[in-house]
Structure 1
Amino acid sequence: MNRERFWMLLALTCAALSLIVYRPNACTTFLFLLVLSGCLTIRVKKDLLKLGLFSALFFGYIFLDHATLVKQRNMPVGEGCYELVVQPDDFSVNEEGIVRGKAKLARGMPVYFSYRAKNQKSLDDFLMDDGPLNLSANGELKRIVPATNLFQFDWVAFMESKHITHQIVVRDVSVKAARPSNPLQACFFQLRTWHARAETWTNSLPNPFGNYTKALLLGGKADELYEENPKISELGLVHLFSLSGLHVGFLLAAVSWFGQRLRIFKEMTSVFQAVALPMFYLFTGSPPVLVRAVVAGEARLVKESYGTVIDSQVIWAWSLLGGLIVTPQILLTLGGQLSFALTLAVTMGKDLNYWQKGLFLSSVTFPIIMAWQSTWNCWQSVANILAVPIFSSLVLPVVLLGLCLGWVPGVLSLSNVIVWLFDRAVYCLGMLPGNVVLGAFSWPVLIVLFTIPFCFLYQRRLVKVGLTVSWCLLLSGSLLAVRFNRQGEFTTFDIGQGDAAVLIEPMKHSVTVFDTGGKVIFGHTRKMNLRKKAPAKGSDEAERQKEEKKKEGLARSVIVPYLHARGVSKIDTLSLSHQDQDHIGDARVILECFKVNQLVMPAGMVDGSAFKKKIQPYLRRTKVIEATDKVKVENCPLRVLYPFNKGEEKNEDSLAWGGAVGGRVFFTAGDLDKAGEKKLAGVQPAFHPEVVKFGHHGSKTASSAVVFAKWKPKIGIVSAGRNSRYGHPHQATLDTAAKYHMIVYSTQRQGMLRYVYVKNHGHFEVTLKHDPTGP
């Protein structure tokens, strides 16, 4: 057995073991069995024994790591005083005085912490020094809340990949400079301090040059970069801005160039490069995806220095093993999957020409991106083919030269112009029509779509044609399966304190969204002085977009991903029950992300300030319908039951809908009060809903006991935030439900609530089995 195959099988076996240990499910089990079947083809017993021994050692390593993680998950929570050590580049502050980031408890356990500064002085305590800090914090230690909606970003899984399972909500804190306990820790503290100073210094640079410098050379968070230009992520160019082999290769080349100019012996330059790589890794905050590039860089240095023949696939296998040892869950992150998949594709497709390689890389990344999101920009392939060479040969050198020679008059401005031109070109390409909603594919389909491009290599022409046809047929079949789904659903989103639901009829015959939720802000938002940590201002449009996003609730992270996963790109009817922020605050997000045919509101709402400020500017070609019970809304399975006349957009004027869905009669009415319910029941005596969404989030102002005595509903739905400051749902509402033996589903305890049906038969599904804030 050759060396290349052995190391590849060992790396893939360890990868499969890590997946099945940390995320046991049908997909990871299948991948493990697939890799195991490949290992069993080894005919040489000695090689099989070595493979088994190394795999067993790795399994023992990750088993202990997983056991530690499980023990950490189950540690007691509650109020207390906690000693924390915070690195200066591991936390962020905003102008509202909120400090949040990663820290370590005294015993070494990593946690996430958040603190709202009471005044400028308490915020200045965090800004007084640019070195590591010791925090004596009084607060509550609790588990990180998991994703409570389907297709919502899983914050728990992401944080656990960093070995963080808990967060501390700090109320009072004492801050002082941290002191190292040994020389090694002193060196580590100094590197992180330099990194924090460098990040702070980039805030004084003009944008987009400053954002590019922070992301490309310092490994800093690229949030500001993506806010300024969201098309970078939409076009799949995020990998260019994540520290990787591209940056490490550039760093090694730069060191080699300077060594030659300074006439330093090549051997000394190689030693300096070998030491610089791990130092660079520590300096940038030890990002997991950088491990692969560091290991690969060190292997190439050995290869060049000693003339050792090391195959590129062996280097890839070593880098994967190194990444798994440092971060065992690296392949459970999007960054890790893209990093290793792309480098493997580059390694195996080295004989392809320029355009073939671009298409090959796009076909490899397509199923990975589809596993994390349900949209695909058709310009991604073109963007990567054109951007990668420009980025590596122009943008990276310009950023480095601008950084080194910024003191020379005109150099910094010229560098910023060049970076701006590249940034605008990406933005303009992303603005072209081509962002397509595909829907969520099943994991077997994604695995096959990922595997076929690799099988395509080194095959005869006829086989390549067959594989291409198979890939296209599988993709087309998956798209049809999403589009023509026989199931319908009435889904209530868990969007905190607010209300939002969607009714999708079978075969996408119609899609109706009821309210959108929204961020409710209490009191005046104060602004504090961030001193040098304040990021540089972007363009006026970028600043406006940033301010708009601060006002958003959870629609962009909850409603939009879910509808995209269901293959929804067009909404037939958007219903807004009344003017309250927690019902219509995120209407802008829905109107921007989807084509909305008609907007239905209670008659009189168009005259209010809420409509004119929050909705009207974003309508585009959406038809507005002012509804009463006399209005027939086309292409909507429910009918308007209330109001009877034009109102003043108050709670008592809320829009009420009712009708049959999947064999049950539903009723939903925003914040309609008891008086409105009684009027409706009097005018509609034959209406008897089986499923009722409690009005006003379960408040005692709604859900009239008199009306429920007539209706006798069987199931109640509560849409309210956890630890609601309003006390929703009120005990009086729950008592009314208990009196009539209703089954009550609540987003507080069970997350997203789905009524799934086929024809006239359906059932309820919940996302969580218990309250996520519980023990």
Structure 2
Amino acid sequence: MIRVRFHFLLAVVGASWVTVLYRPNAVTIVLAVIFSLSVLTLRDFRRICLLFLLALILIGYSLIGYRSLSMEEGQIAQQKNVELLVFPDQLQVSEHGFVRGQGQDERGQRFLLAYQAKNQEDVDRFTSISFPTKMSGLVKQVPILGATNDYQFDFHQFWKTQRVTQQTTFQSVTLARAHAQNPLQAFFFFSHRLHATAGRWANQLPNPLGDYAGALLLGMKGTMLYENNPKIAELGLIHLFALSGLHVSFLAKQFRQLTRRLRITREVADGLLAVLLVMFYFFTGSLAVLFRALVAGELRIVNRNFSCQWYPVTIWSWSLLASLVFYPQILLTLGGQLSFALTLAIILTARYNYWLRGFFLSAVSFPIILAQQFAWNIWQTMANILVVPLFSAIVLPATLIGYFGAWLSVVKESTNVVINLFDRFVYWFGQLPGYVVIGAFSWPVLLFLFILPWLFFRVKWQLKSFLTLCWCALFILNYAWIHWPKEGEWTTFDIVQGDAAVLIEPKHRSVMMIDTGGKVTFGSHPVYQTANRIETRPRVLEQKKLKEQEGLAQSVIIPYLHARGIAHIDTISLSHQDQDHIGDTRVLLENFRVDRVVMPAGMAELPAYQRKIKPYLKNTKVVEATDRTKLTNCPLTIRYPFDSGLAGNDDSLAWTGRIGGTEIYTAGDLDRSGEQKILDKYPFLAPKIVKFGHHGSRTATDPNVFDVWQPRIGIVSAGRDSRYGHPHQEVLDVDNHERMIVYSTQVQGMLRYVYQKNQGHFEVSRHDITKSKGTN
């Protein structure tokens, strides 16, 4: 057992050191210290020295890749001519002619690429690509933008784990077939062609069979599986789809059974299986999370045939070390974390009964998923216990049979019916009440919640109850800390072109959204013929249509509110009818319990309200307001409009109120005339924090009004590289004249005014890889 412990400690120490190298933060450093100190349990000086020596060799090897990646990350925005090698399985063409994918230059640096097709002929050029292709032309190269809002998914960090730090947008494109320069490159060219051909075959299958085959068998990044059925991720079933390598084990088991029936000797069968595992790995697109399953499968074959007597933990340890060599950032991805954590948990609970194992797996995955989603479905454990055997016994075989036997219409249709029943069952199961918003726990708490279940294997039964109580106490105390905070906040989201803010009072006495943002489109996009699968399911078609109209509420606003432990919104204020202020109201109404929607009087008669808001209200009360409207449980007061109107810019709702001992003012797109009317009717107002009207447009921010108010701080909510030129110079001149401190989402991302009683301060999220905070 000393040897098993040595291999395990070598793997976790090496993994923790490499992870610190690529992402040094409190969590990775603490884990590295804990695992490094645990090496002392070996109690053998020579083994300890050997382990650290091997770990240093691994970190030295990883340092080479890290330095190369850091140099790529440091490149600045530029325009230049490039030639990228693009594989057919790494290109996606949408029905609107948006071409996206990955490519690499002659030095091997990887890039995200984008191109807008000009016409149907241009689209056909890309949909017909079946060979590795050289894509050349003039591009604009910029670093991949990271998260500019707290708790927003960080694309910069995600793509960095894939060794991609830059993105290119082609202005014009020339395509030419690429030719392999050596046998190894020829093999990779062939594997990508094979994967692309397999993907096109999956695209010809009906849904959901096509989506399941694409995600489960091929690891296709373009699959719409999770978008079409988001309950898969919500119920924690995402690890079944190409994360845990469950289908690799299933295929290996079926292959061994087949060879036994054919009376093929075990040695010959294992030799064939060793080759087939490698082929399947490349067939599925060389997914990083499947590399663990490949290595583990090969090691088990060696173990069976050469009497190595390796324990399952030893095989797990070497699969982790091998993954770190080829994919050093594997544990910085959700897929990698779930894959290695759950497979280790399965190994250690081999003697547990089925139900107890299910609960343990849920306890292990809980902090990992909570760190990403800030919520938990109470049916998740039950879903895994019920679905995993169903998945192995029915869904996997049906997907395989449906994919490889789709040339027979009866096979294709029947397997699609089976998978559709499973898909609908998961969706129905996810609809049951039980989705609980928990919030963003601090990293020490998440770390303890993750570590405590593993201690069950090292303590006596008397201590297991104590550990369970500790786990529950940690959870309850942090849940209370998040849901009853002593501080309040007024937060302006960075949602590109648009407006959205939330006012959260201390202890969550009230939660008020002020506008919701929305996707702004300029003109209609043409629709082209592509090789993509034609969707026919009404539910999915409706979801797709609504998804195309969404702004950033799903990726910015909802994660932030969930991280703050918010599942209930008292008030949604819609300043006026413009899409960039109300477009994502539907998303919030569908994801939160909302007491009331407040909007300027007269707006309920407009088509924008009838189409975008009314169908999704459910039990939410609608209040058409003027400055005479009084609202209960609302921290702000309406100052404008005075009468019913058409909910245009000049009718925008204007709010004022005192938070943190300071008067604030926000008024959507209200123009200078409206500002002057407010001053005339309410001469006693003197707001010190002002959100500039109309995103900093010259149509607002009247210099005469501001000369009376004399605000100290201004807030600009506007998109980067705004096509309108916001904020305009005239507004900046007013800022300078009043000597104001100005915060802008363009520059600083999310803006938070945090207050407690009569004290408050600003916190801004600056966009850089260190997630640094600045406070004024």
TM-score by shorter chain over 0.5: yes
In 2, Cα distance between the equivalents of 1:76 and 1:684?
Answer: 50
For residues 51-77 of structure 1, give each alpha carbon's deviation from its aligned partner in whole angstroms, at most 9, with x where no partner exists. Answer: 011011011012222111111111243
Counterpart position of 1:48: 48
Q: Measured at CA, do residues 158 and 336 of structure 1 come closer, stay the same or move farther in structure 2, by a change above 3 Å?
A: same
The letter of the residue matching 2:288 is P
In 2, Cα distance between the equivalents of 1:284 and 1:67?
Answer: 29
The letter of the residue matching 2:27 is C
Moved more, 423-432 or 677-686: 423-432
Moved more, 68-77 or 698-707: 68-77
CA shift, 1:409, in A, is 5.4
Moved more, 348-357 or 302-311: 302-311
In 2, Cα distance between the equivalents of 1:197 and 1:600?
Answer: 53
Residues 1:323 and 2:323 aligned together: yes
Q: In 1, are the aligned partners of 2:244 and 2:338 still within 8 Å (CA)? A: no
Counterpart position of 1:713: 711
Residues 1:657 and 2:655 aligned together: yes
Residues 1:678 and 2:676 aligned together: yes
Counterpart position of 1:399: 399
In 2, Cα distance between the equivalents of 1:63 and 1:308?
Answer: 32
Q: Measured at CA, do residues 518 and 187 of structure 1 come closer, stay the same or move farther in structure 2, by a change above 3 Å?
A: same
Q: In 2, are the aligned partners of 1:16 and 1:31 still within 8 Å (CA)? A: yes
Counterpart position of 1:570: 568
For residues 171-198 of structure 1, give each alpha carbon's deviation from its aligned partner in whole angstroms, at most 9, with x where no partner exists. Answer: 1111122211112211211111111111
Q: In 2, are the aligned partners of 1:718 and 1:747 still within 8 Å (CA)? A: yes
Q: How many residues align?
A: 770
Counterpart position of 1:248: 248
The letter of the residue matching 2:693 is G
Counterpart position of 1:585: 583
For residues 615-666 of structure 1, give each alpha carbon's deviation from its aligned partner in whole angstroms, at most 9, with x where no partner exists. Answer: 0000011111111111111111110000001111110000000010111110
Equivalence map 1:719-730=2 (5 Å): 719-730=717-728
Residues 1:603 and 2:640 aligned together: no
Residues 1:750 and 2:711 aligned together: no
SS at match of 2:761: strand
Counterpart position of 1:220: 220
SS at match of 1:89: helix
Counterpart position of 1:307: 307
In 1, Cα distance between the equivalents of 2:628 and 2:244?
Answer: 62
RMSD over equivalenced CA pairs, Å: 1.5
Moved more, 209-218 or 10-19: 209-218
Moved more, 124-133 or 107-116: 124-133
SS at match of 2:124: helix
Q: In 2, are the aligned partners of 1:439 and 1:564 still within 8 Å (CA)? A: yes
Counterpart position of 1:192: 192
Q: In 2, are the aligned partners of 1:84 and 1:137 still within 8 Å (CA)? A: no
In 2, Cα distance between the equivalents of 1:706 and 1:52?
Answer: 70
The letter of the residue matching 1:172 is S
Residues 1:37 and 2:37 aligned together: yes
The letter of the residue matching 1:634 is T
CA shift, 1:258, in A, is 3.5
Q: In 1, are the aligned partners of 2:570 and 2:595 still within 8 Å (CA)? A: yes
CA shift, 1:221, in A, is 2.7
Equivalence map 1:146-185=2 (5 Å): 146-185=146-185
In 2, Cα distance between the equivalents of 1:219 and 1:254?
Answer: 20
SS at match of 1:424: helix
Percent identity among equivalent residues? 50
Q: In 2, are the aligned partners of 1:749 and 1:770 still within 8 Å (CA)? A: no
In 2, Cα distance between the equivalents of 1:478 and 1:102?
Answer: 41
SS at match of 1:40: helix
Counterpart position of 1:617: 615
* Residue segments in structure 2 that go unaligned for 5+ positions in a row: 771-776
Moved more, 470-479 or 566-575: 470-479
Equivalence map 1:379-528=2 (5 Å): 379-408=379-408, 410-457=410-457, 459-528=459-528
In 1, Cα distance between the equivalents of 2:237 and 2:329?
Answer: 23
CA shift, 1:259, in A, is 2.8
CA shift, 1:458, in A, is 5.4
- Corresponding residue to 1:768 among 755, 766, 771: 766
Residues 1:4 and 2:4 aligned together: yes
CA shift, 1:261, in A, is 4.1
Residues 1:667 and 2:696 aligned together: no
SS at match of 1:338: helix
The letter of the residue matching 1:671 is D
Moved more, 742-751 or 47-56: 47-56
TM-score of the pair, normalised by structure 2 = 0.97
Q: In 2, are the aligned partners of 1:750 and 1:770 still within 8 Å (CA)? A: no
In 2, Cα distance between the equivalents of 1:400 and 1:10?
Answer: 37
In 2, Cα distance between the equivalents of 1:546 and 1:725?
Answer: 27
Counterpart position of 2:58: 58
CA shift, 1:251, in A, is 2.0
Residues 1:73 and 2:43 aligned together: no
TM-score of the pair, normalised by structure 1 = 0.98
Moved more, 158-167 or 414-423: 414-423
SS at match of 2:92: strand
The letter of the residue matching 1:399 is T
CA shift, 1:598, in A, is 0.8
CA shift, 1:245, in A, is 2.8
In 2, Cα distance between the equivalents of 1:521 and 1:4?
Answer: 59
Q: In 1, are the aligned partners of 2:202 and 2:403 still within 8 Å (CA)? A: no
Equivalence map 1:83-162=2 (5 Å): 83-162=83-162
Counterpart position of 2:774: none
The letter of the residue matching 1:347 is I
SS at match of 1:637: coil
Moved more, 491-500 or 221-230: 221-230
Counterpart position of 2:624: 626
The letter of the residue matching 1:380 is Q
Counterpart position of 2:293: 293
Moved more, 756-765 or 36-45: 36-45
In 2, Cα distance between the equivalents of 1:496 and 1:17?
Answer: 37
The letter of the residue matching 1:718 is V
In 2, Cα distance between the equivalents of 1:594 and 1:409?
Answer: 43
In 1, Cα distance between the equivalents of 2:607 and 2:455?
Answer: 60
